[in-house]
Amino acid sequence: MANRTLIKGAEAALPTTVGAASSFGGATLVRLVNTHATNAYLVTLLEDQGGVGIGSFTMPAQAVEYIEKQSAHSLLAANGAVLGAKVGFTN
């Protein structure tokens, strides 16, 4: 049986600056979607809202990704076209 996505929070644009990075309410799983039709954007994972970068990846246009992270870790993107929501998986 395929996993189903459990919605646990409201979808919001990823912040675009380090000091505003979001943990999405302490989420350990975040669903991301790049809503831009043609542009790919960099997504960065930080230790905390203003912290040290852990890693980053380029999210293609119109793509969906699921990011597993620690609850204190925060996300930001190069553009507000990248949206995120706290989610979980259920069977």
pLDDT in tens, 10-22: 999 999 999 999 9
Percent of the chain with pLDDT strictly greater than 70: 98
Take residue 27 and report the two structure tokens written for it: 């989420």
| Residue 46 reports pLDDT greater than 90 | yes
Q: Angle 17-23-24 (CA atoms, 0-180°, nearest 5)?
A: 110
Q: Write out the E strands in the chain.
A: 4-7, 12-13, 29-34, 41-46, 53-59, 64-68, 74-77, 82-90
Phi, psi of 54, deg, nearest 5: -95, -40
Q: What pLDDT was estimated at residue 3? A: 81
